[in-house]
Structures are given as C-alpha cells and as structure tokens.
Amino acid sequence: MKDHLSQSAKPTLEQMTAELVAPQLPLPHDASSVPIFQTSSFLFDRFEDMAAVFAGESDRYIYSRGNNPTVAELERLIARLEGVDAARGFASGMGAIAAAVLPFVQAGDRGVAVENLYSDAFRLFECVLKKFGVQTDYVDGTDTQAVVDALPGAKLIYLESPTSWSFTTQDLRAIGAAARAQGVISVIDNSWATPLYQRPAEFGIDLIVHAASKYLAGHSDTIAGLVAGPKALIDRINHDSYPYLGGKMSPFDAWLVLRGMRTLHLRMARHAQNGLALGRALSAHPAVTRVRHPAFEANPGNACLSGYGGLFAFDLDASVDIARFANALKVVRIGVSWGGAESLILPAQAALRLSGDANVFRRFDTPAGSVRISAGLEHSDTLVEDLRTAIDEARQ
Ligand SMILES: *Cc1c(COP(=O)(O)O)cnc(C)c1O
C-alpha cells in the first residue's frame, strides 16, 4: 500500500511552532504561562465604564459565560492557527458543533452532511434538528459530484474529513467552492487533522469545529470544544446561539487546552508516526481485511492533508474473536475517546449498535469486525507487537 500524503509543502507548521510553544501576549507580571482567570464576573469602578461596555463602545470583560481572558487567549490562538478572524470556546466538542449549526438553519430548511460522521453529530441532526423541522440529507463524501449535486437549496453542508470510523476524506476545495457559489454555509469537524495538518479555511470552508478534548488538549484530562471562522459568522454564533445554549468553555479547561497545545506539534508527529507504523503492520497481517486510514486508501480529500492523525480503524476477518483480541491486549487499553498519550481501541461490536436499531443509531459503513484505534505516544514497536500478539491469540 502506498502513502497518499500531499507533497505540497506549506511552511505553516514551522511558522506556527513559536506561537504554539509560548504565549505571544504580554502576560500579567511577565508570567510565562497564561494565568487562569477563575472569575465569574468582572467589576467596574464607575457607572460610565459599565454603560460603555453595554453600549458596545468598549470590549472589557463582563461575565465569564460571555468572555473570559483565559478562554479568549485560546480563542485567539486557534483562530490564528486556522488562519481565520475569530473563534469561540465551548464546554465540549458537541457544544461547539450545536452552536455552529443552529444559527444557520430554521424550520423547513434542509442541510447536507457526509455519511459516517461522528455519531453524536449525526444524532444532533436526527434527534434535535429533525424535531424542529430541519431535514438532513446524507451523501457519500468521497463522491464529490454527489456532494455538489446535493447543495442547491440547502442551507448548510456539514463535513468531517476524515470521517469517524471510515476515515475517508472529502475534496474540501471543490466542496468549499461549490458551497460558496450556492450560498450554502460549510462547516467542518477538523479535530482529527488539527490546524497543523489541515487548514480548511484555505480551501474555502466557512466554519471549523474542534473537539479540543482530543488532540488539542491531548492528555485525556478535559472536555472542550472550539469553533473558528470569519468574524461575520462567529458574530452570528455570538448573537444567535452560544450565550443562550450556555455551553461556554471554563477558564480551567481553556488553560488545560492551552497547556496541551504547547506540545501539539511534537505529539502530532508521534501520533502520525505510530499510526503509520501500526497501519503498515496491520495491512501486512493476514487476518486484517482493510486499514481505514488516509495513508492507506486513496480518497478525494487526501491532498488537503499535510500530515496524519493517529486515529484510524481496521477490519478483522471472521477468524478473529473480537472480545478475545481486545482482552489479549497488554499495552493498548479499551476505551472511548482518542487523542491522548495512551493508545486505545474501540471495537465496533462493543460500541456501536450495528443493526436493527432505530434510525438514530444507524451506522453507514461499519462491519462487525471493525476496530478503531487511537495510536498514542508509546514506542511504535511496543504497539505493533501488542496488536500482532493479540490478533494471533484471538484467531481460531
Ligand atoms: C469526540 C468527538 C467530538 C465531540 O467532542 P466532545 O468534546 O466529546 O463533545 C466531535 N467530533 C469528533 C470527530 C470526535 O471524535
């Protein structure tokens, strides 16, 4: 199998490194890390000071559900990394997704989303938006023409590249251009690649959401989310959803994400390397029928990526007892989530309702032998050995 990594060298990673490793702002008392402003409200000495803020003439802090200096520094950093004007922090990735989508649709509208998207984003569309009269059509994101053909008349296109479980990519440039031409707001979940390895705004995508709980924070110690985009669209979110849904990121969570991001470039390089080493070993194993990773499958959006996340899936054939395989692992642990230092597997058989369930649990493309793996920061030889041994022990 061949790597399909884009050769178009963008110097962005190097340029971004200094901004990642050290806060660029002058900090109080010349602190070297951003302080946690653990305060709910901010005080005014004079009536006129408060009146000026409410009149929009001054942008001082008022209340931390609106703005908080620690959260604001993270918002500034992610906007900078994504190459856009503005960003908003949320209490979770799902909080960010809900707040990014809701301002742009109303009853009677139609949205388009790619198949195989993150399961709770799918359920937001099927359990919440549908109830309020917004219909979502699902298209195969690898079929660029099908995506483009679904756009006329839609209000929003929701992308995830690569998608969860299938890890197929979308041609962001073609879809972004078509969405702009049709006046359709485009939203992408960029949690997997992070802005280091994919900057969707460069391809004409409007809003970028992050489950900061994953790679940005990177230590399995917090839940957080972000939306980044042009000022006009972030203002819509500011005015129409985020203060009222109430899922604002806390100062402490923002601080954990900021701290995690100081090593993002180092961690991502290792996650990518470990993911590729595991992908190569798995694709050479006789019991593995498919490795679902952008480096191992040619798909239209692979050229948008300048590097890889370490999360992917592989399909085991019927000779492998999935429970025995999972239980035989010694280093890799069993668990949901991803993006932390520790490697984790999530077997589809345990985690997904694979058939016969209500529509909201429908999966699109996940066979029973599929296993998702988050390659952590361990030595790649250790991980390869652990997986190989466990598969061999579980074969009958
Ligand atoms: C985890 C995840 C989310 C949701 O993030 P939370 O912080 O758990 O709400 C969104 N998208 C993807 C791709 C994820 O893996």
Are residues 171 and 184 both part of a single domain? Answer: yes
pLDDT attached to residue 12: 64
CA of 367 to the centre of ligand 1 (A): 22
Domain that holds residue 29: 13-261
Q: Does residue 277 fall inside a structural domain?
A: yes
pLDDT attached to residue 352: 74
CA of 158 to the centre of ligand 1 (A): 14
Q: How far is CA 187 from the centre of its chain?
A: 11
Q: Does residue 192 fall inside a structural domain?
A: yes
Position in ligand 1 atom list of the atom nearest CA 96: 9
Least confident window among 64-68, 186-190, 388-392: 64-68
CA of 32 to the centre of ligand 1 (A): 30
Q: Indicate the DSSP class of residue 161.
A: S
**pLDDT tens-digit profile of 337-396?**
999 999 999 999 888 765 545 444 455 668 889 999 999 999 999 999 999 999 999 998
CA of 209 to the centre of ligand 1 (A): 9
Are residues 87 and 175 both part of a single domain? Answer: yes
**Does 197 sit in the ligand 1 pocket, CB within 6 Å?**
no
pLDDT at residue 15 greater than cutoff 70: yes
Position in ligand 1 atom list of the atom nearest CA 211: 5
**Does 339 sit in the ligand 1 pocket, CB within 6 Å?**
no
- Ligand 1 pocket test: which of 213, 223, 337, 344 has the largest number of ligand atoms within 8 Å of its C-beta? 213
Identify the CA nearest to 291 among candidates 375, 353, 212, 199. Answer: 375
**Does 340 sit in the ligand 1 pocket, CB within 6 Å?**
no
pLDDT attached to residue 358: 47
pLDDT attached to residue 380: 98
User: Tokens representing 280?
Assistant: 């190569």
**Does 211 sit in the ligand 1 pocket, CB within 6 Å?**
yes
User: Tokens representing 340?
Assistant: 């932390």
Q: Does residue 128 fall inside a structural domain?
A: yes
CATH number for the domain spanning 231: value is 3.40.640.10
**Does 194 sit in the ligand 1 pocket, CB within 6 Å?**
no
Are residues 308 and 365 both part of a single domain? Answer: yes
- Ligand 1 pocket test: which of 94, 101, 125 has the largest number of ligand atoms within 8 Å of its C-beta? 94
- Return left, alpha or beta for 92; rule: phi > 0 is left, psi -120 to 50 is alpha, else beta: beta
Are residues 165 and 218 both part of a single domain? Answer: yes
**Does 170 sit in the ligand 1 pocket, CB within 6 Å?**
no
CA of 216 to the centre of ligand 1 (A): 12
CA of 247 to the centre of ligand 1 (A): 14
Q: Does residue 6 fall inside a structural domain?
A: no
Are residues 149 and 168 both part of a single domain? Answer: yes
**pLDDT tens-digit profile of 288-336?**
999 999 999 999 999 999 999 999 999 999 999 999 999 999 999 999 9
**Does 191 sit in the ligand 1 pocket, CB within 6 Å?**
yes
Tally of structural domains, the chain: 2
CA of 22 to the centre of ligand 1 (A): 26
Kindly state the average pLDDT of the residues 198-205: 97
- Point out the domain boundary residue: 231, 261, 291: 261
- Give percent of the chain with pLDDT exceeding 90: 85
pLDDT at residue 160 greater than cutoff 90: yes
Kindly state the average pLDDT of the residues 208-232: 98
pLDDT band at residue 2 under the 50/70/90 scheme: very low
pLDDT attached to residue 14: 78
Cα Rg for the chain, rounded, in angstroms?
A: 21
CA distance linking residue 358 with residue 71, whole number of Å: 39
Residues in contact with 360: Cβ distance below 8 Å, sequence separation at least 6, in sequence order? 122, 123, 126, 127
Position in ligand 1 atom list of the atom nearest CA 160: 13
Q: Does residue 3 fall inside a structural domain?
A: no
- Point out the domain boundary residue: 213, 231, 261: 261
Are residues 134 and 223 both part of a single domain? Answer: yes
Are residues 253 and 276 both part of a single domain? Answer: no
Residues in contact with 392: Cβ distance below 8 Å, sequence separation at least 6, in sequence order? none
Q: Does residue 7 fall inside a structural domain?
A: no
**pLDDT tens-digit profile of 98-143?**
999 999 999 999 999 999 999 899 999 999 999 999 999 999 999 9
More confident call, 378 vs 4: 378
User: Tokens representing 292?
Assistant: 């679902």
Are residues 253 and 333 both part of a single domain? Answer: no
Do residues 226 and 212 lie in contact, with contact meaning Cβ atoms separated by under 8 Å?
A: yes
Do residues 239 and 125 lie in contact, with contact meaning Cβ atoms separated by under 8 Å?
A: no
- Point out the domain boundary residue: 261, 293, 310: 261
Going by alpha carbons, the residue nearest to atom 8 of ligand 1 is 93
- Give percent of the chain with pLDDT exceeding 70: 94
Are residues 49 and 114 both part of a single domain? Answer: yes
CA distance linking residue 123 with residue 145, whole number of Å: 25
Are residues 324 and 307 both part of a single domain? Answer: yes
pLDDT at residue 9 greater than cutoff 60: no
CATH number for the domain spanning 299: value is 3.90.1150.10
Position in ligand 1 atom list of the atom nearest CA 94: 9
Are residues 247 and 389 both part of a single domain? Answer: no
Q: Does residue 272 fall inside a structural domain?
A: yes
pLDDT at residue 11 greater than cutoff 50: no
CA of 24 to the centre of ligand 1 (A): 28
Position in ligand 1 atom list of the atom nearest CA 225: 7
CA distance linking residue 218 with residue 213, whole number of Å: 7
Going by alpha carbons, the residue nearest to atom 6 of ligand 1 is 93
Do residues 222 and 257 lie in contact, with contact meaning Cβ atoms separated by under 8 Å?
A: yes
Are residues 245 and 103 both part of a single domain? Answer: yes
Write down the number of H helices and E strands in the chain: 15, 12
- Ligand 1 pocket test: which of 166, 191, 372 has the largest number of ligand atoms within 8 Å of its C-beta? 191
Going by alpha carbons, the residue nearest to atom 13 of ligand 1 is 118
pLDDT attached to residue 354: 59
